[in-house]
Structure formats: structure tokens, C-alpha cells
Amino acid sequence: MNLNFQLEARCPETEARLGRFRTTHNEVETPQFMPVGTVGSVKALDPRDLTDLGATVILGNTYHLGIRPGVPTLQALGGMHTMAAWPGSILTDSGGFQILSLTKLRKISEDGVVFRNHIDGGLLNLTPEKSIEIQEAIGSDIAMVLDHLAPSNSERSVMEEAMGRTTRWALRCLEARKRSDQALFAIIQGGVVEDLRQRHVEELCAHDFDGFAVGGLAVGESIPQMYETLAFTAPKLPENKPRYLMGVGTPQDLVEGVARGIDMFDCVMPTRNARKGGLFVDQGRRKINLNNAKFRDERGPLDPTCTCYTCRTFSAGYLRHLLVAQEILVYRLLSIHNLHIYLNLMRNLRGALREGRFAQFRRDWWSGVPTKG
């Protein structure tokens, strides 16, 4: 599916770009952050929360939804849009990340990867064709090719093997697709080695994918290495198609990813951290731990600079009480706050690009980040 990606503005000092594309369900402005709803739900939040926060794309996971509820139930319930009552767009990971995260539960071959699943020990034979079948049953607007994800600090021979397999699997995914209303993105691998990234860009960009992702980062390399790899790789991807950085990251990573030419981001960090009391404050520049006793009697908001529902309504002391008591409500309230921080940061980045002041916004934003040590 052609997303008709349109570039609307560029930053003259960086690779940052403002754009938009349209799926079957809605228009998506970029740069954009996509909340993660692994099993068909962004944890603790409902579609109205997400809409109010300004989310336009959420994620689902092929491995998890393929195991439970499985393809027949996904089809019977009308796919993720219908069963989750989500009106916006959905992007699905292919299951490739689980190749790395579930190493002890999988066996990989040229055909695909066989998982002994973490629910009941049953087998899931996830081939490129099966990954597309599951993603089509989910009904996502954007599907990802099945990729072989290797740690970024792997030996060169291991990285080359994973790259070659990812290319072959990507072409099998292209052949397997049946839905005309679903875009398909390829995934660029190669670790932090520039000539490998260059080779993989050339291999995959020669084919008619609807967008391209930079994969294999935030999986073992340093932050400077990640930024250097992004700066090398992103500008080499087609200008007329969306660029997606998978699984990254902190608010700082979003700012720097945009500066290097990335259009789309996802990460479990804002919601996962929220459920543990890890909160991003001051436009994402700092992180606090609400479990800290200093918040126990605090009558003010947890972030005086924030306009989210949680900060407008509840005191930091009350939220800490709920967190310590493990009261269910707190997971929703803290997730609302963190996602507001992320999505509002993206709105501000888009606004700065639209007004031709991205580079200054970036400098101003970083000037408020505390120095370590």
C-alpha cells in the first residue's frame, strides 16, 4: 500500500524533516511516537485515553498475538482495530525482536524460527509467510518484514549472516502479502558497522517496500555508537518513504533521532517505567522515581511544567501513596503522564520544524538537561 508520504519541511542545519502519510484509518503526521500495545492493548489505557493524548498510531506484536488469541480468534473478532476499538492506525512488529529476547525458547533456520512459546510451551513456527499471515489477521496498517535481529556487538560474521537472512526473509514477505490495504516496511540491519549498514541499505532499498526501518539498535551498543549509526544510515534511505527507528527510546533519543532524519519511533519505556514509578518530567529532560520518600507529603503536582490530566488533578503525594499501595488506578494515571510527555515532545518537534526553528528548539531543549556527575 502506497502511504503517499509527503515531505513538508526540512531543517537546514540537521537531517530533521516534517511529513505526513495516510493509512486506511487516518492521517499520520511525522515525526511521530507510537505507544506500544503488545497484546492488543496499551497497558492500563483505553482508546479514549490514547486519543485524548494525541496518539495516532499504536503497536501490536505478531509473536504475542499469534500465540494468544491466535489467527482464528483474531479473524473472528475482526482484527485488532475492531476488537480493541482503536480508530487510528496500527503498526505490527513481525516477531523478529523475540528472536533476540527469547533466545532460550527458539531455534532459528533459513526457513524461519520455531518458538516454544512462553505461555503453554506450545510451538510456533514463525516463517516469513506465517508472520505476514498473522499480521494480515491482526489487520495492521503497517506490517514489518520478519528479520533476524542480532546484538549490535556481534562478531562481523554473525552480523553478516543475520543481514543476509533478513534480506531473503524480507523478499519472501513481499511475495506472501495478500492485503492491498497494508503497507510493508523492510528493516535495515548491520549493527554499528558502516559498510554493513551501507550494504543492507542497497540490498533492501532496491525493492518496492512502502517504508524502511532502522533495526538492530539499542541492543548492546553505546548511545554515541547508536547516534553515529543513525547519522550514517537514515539519510541513505529513500526520501519519499517513512523512516522508522525501532524500539528507541528516551526523550533524548527522540530529539536526536529526529535530528538525524527519523520519522517514526516506538518504545515500551514510557508505559513500562510509569508502572514502576519512573516518570519523565520537565518536557522529558529529567526522570524522577516516585517511590522516593521525598514525595510522600508533596501536595503539588509531580511535574509543575506538565499539563496532562494526572498533573492537573492529583498531587505527587497522593500518586506516590497509590503506587506504594499498588492501587490499580495509579498505573493508568502515571502512564497518561509519561505518554503525554512523549507525545507532547513530538508535537513540539513538529511545530518547530513547521516554523523553521528546529535547530534552536533542539539547542534550547538540551540546555535544560542536567549534566551528569
Distance of alpha carbon 326 from alpha carbon 66, whole angstroms? 31
Q: Write the single-letter amino acid at 144.
A: M
Is 49 a known active-site residue? no
Q: Is 210 a catalytic residue?
A: no
* Buried/exposed code over 56-82 (b: 16+ C-beta within 10 A; e: otherwise): bbbbbbbbbbbbebeeeebeeeebbbe
Sign of CA dihedral 52, 57, 59, 60: positive
Amino acid at position 211, single letter: G
**What residues contact 338, with CB distance under 8 A and at least 6 apart?**
270, 271, 273, 274, 279, 280
Choice among 147, 266, 282, 303 that is catalytic: 266
What type of residue sits at position 360? Answer: Q
Strand ordering across the sheet containing 6-10? 6-10, 17-22, 27-30
Query: Dihedrals φ, ψ of 34, to 5°?
Result: -115, 110
Cis peptide before 31 (omega within 30 of 0): yes
Residue 14's Cβ-count burial label (10 Å; 0-12, 13-18, 19+) is: middle
CA distance 333 to 347: 21
CA distance 352 to 323: 36
Phi, psi of 43 (to 5 degrees): -50, 130
Which grid cell is 151?
A: 546484538
* Catalytic one of 93, 263, 282, 303: 93
DSSP E strand stretches across 11-144: 17-22, 27-30, 32-34, 57-61, 89-93, 106-108, 113-116, 123-126, 142-144
Give the span between the Cα atoms of 24 and 182, in whole angstroms: 8
Write out the catalytic residue numbers.
93, 266
